[in-house]
Amino acid sequence: MRILAVESSCDESAAAVLDGQRGLLAHVLYSQAQLHRLYGGVVPELASRDHVQRLLPLIMSVLKQAHTAPAELTAVAYTAGPGLAGALLTGAALARSLAFALGIPAIAVHHLEGHLLAALLEPEVPALPHVALLVSGGHTMLLEVQGVGAYRLLGETRDDAAGEAFDKSAKLLGLPYPGGPELARLATEGRAGAFVFPRPMLDRPGLEFSFSGLKTAVVHAVRGIELTRAVVADVARGVEEAIVETLAAKALRALDETNLETLVVCGGVAANSRLRERLAAGVAARGGRVYYPRMEFCTDNAAMIAVAGLARLKAGQHEDLGIRVRAQWPLEELPPLGAGGVH
Ligand code: KG4
Ligand code: ZN
């Protein structure tokens, strides 16, 4: 089995080829960050138009790199949601049409299932069941992963996502879009403890998060102060520490509550080095193990869509001829495939 996957849910156009036996053969990505920087955030219409221009050349290029002719493909997978409707439609229309032309199945993939399964692209795969901390620009969730498609929600954010908190704080500090990685870079120059921000809901039981108060705290902290590079670095350090500490404490609490030893951290914010260090230490201290996808597979990519697509292909799932996407798509609505479906 050899699958082509396409990702276009937000501001990354990406394609990948995954072989059932030989693993990932190639993956390519074009980030639209530069395009949206001028506006301080993603402009949906611009994103859709750019996907239309990028996707086909990316597909040609990834097939070439994977030494794969279209006729060798078993299926075409694509991100069908959640995400920006117009952006999703560009990938869905292209992938569905390509599958039709080749006479092979098209597979609609849930973007978050892609993030959750990205760790399977690494040589050592996490045991099932495990706890997953899924932290992206749009989602912050703790889940018990019992198998492919069998996800039990343990807790999620009541308002802003962790990535959103990084991005909004970065914007308040005058950092360019996308702010999260930029803020993390500056934080390495900042002094620990120079600014201390609230750790929301840490003192309360449960596995819910709330990050919307953080930006207000940042606004108050910097009011009337000259934003020199040193001050921005100190504030960035404080913001990062507050988010990382909150995520880490709740993830460890989730391991305690479920009595599980394995933690998988995924989604764009899983690329944050301080979060990785903090969780590695915290999980090791209680005798467990933590797994992450490599950095480039934490943020949006098509390799993870290929992994999820292959799992669903093996389970016999595929789409009819309609071109459909879901901007909103609760993860719990996915049908389970049973434990260890892709191992
Ligand atoms: O998973 P992703 O690429 O896209 C979504 O599905 O949302 O996640 C993007 C989010 C953005 O909010 C970005 O600022 C954040 O991940 N991010 C980071 C880092 N790299 C990406 N946040 C903190 N530190 C990083 N190194
Ligand atoms: Zn994502």
Can you tell me the distance from the alpha carbon of 285 to that of 274, in angstroms, rounded to the nearest whole number?
17
CB atoms near residue 174 (< 10 Å): 10
Q: Can you give the length of the chain in residues?
A: 343
Average pLDDT over residues 18-26: 97
Closest CA to 64 of 121, 96, 25: 25
Average pLDDT over residues 58-76: 98
Cα–ligand 2 centroid distance for 142 (angstroms): 15
Asked if residue 170 lies in contact with residue 159, where contact means CB atoms within 8 angstroms, the answer is: no
Determine the pLDDT at residue 201.
81
pTM across the whole model: 0.95
Average pLDDT over residues 25-41: 95
Fold of 2-116+298-342: Nucleotidyltransferase; domain 5 (3.30.420)
Statement: residue 174 has pLDDT above 70: yes
Average pLDDT over residues 209-217: 95
Given the CA of residue 9, which atom of ligand 1 is nearest to it? Answer: 6
Backbone angles phi, psi at 286, to 5 degrees: -105, 15
- Which two three-digit tokens encode residue 262? 């394995």
Mean pLDDT of the chain: 95
Give the binding-site residues of ligand 1, using a 6 Å CB cut-off: 10, 136-138, 163, 166-167, 178-181, 184, 267-269, 271-272, 299-300
What is the dihedral angle through the alpha carbons of 165, 166, 169, 175, rounded to the nearest 10 degrees? -150
If pLDDT is split at 50, 70 and 90, which confidence band does 178 have?
confident
Determine the pLDDT at residue 209.
96
Statement: residue 13 has pLDDT above 80: yes
Q: In what order do the strands lie in the sheet with 262-266?
A: 150-156, 140-147, 130-135, 262-266, 289-291
Cα–ligand 1 centroid distance for 168 (angstroms): 12
Can you tell me the distance from the alpha carbon of 221 to that of 12, in angstroms, rounded to the nearest whole number?
33
CATH of 128-292, one of 3.30.70.1450, 3.30.420.40, 3.40.50.970, 3.40.220.10: 3.30.420.40
- Per-residue pLDDT of 95-131, as tens digits, reads 999 999 999 999 999 999 999 999 999 999 999 999 9
Statement: residue 343 has pLDDT above 70: no
Where exactly are the structural domains of the chain? Answer: 2-116+298-342, 128-292
Angle at CA of residue 151, ends 210 and 247, nearest 5°: 30
Given the CA of residue 243, which atom of ligand 1 is nearest to it? Answer: 23
Backbone angles phi, psi at 241, to 5 degrees: -60, -40
**Within this chain, domains 2-116+298-342 and 128-292 share the same CATH topology:** yes
**Residue to substitute in 169, 172, 246, 269 for testing ligand 1 pocket (most ligand atoms within 8 angstroms of CB):** 269
Statement: residue 339 has pLDDT above 50: no
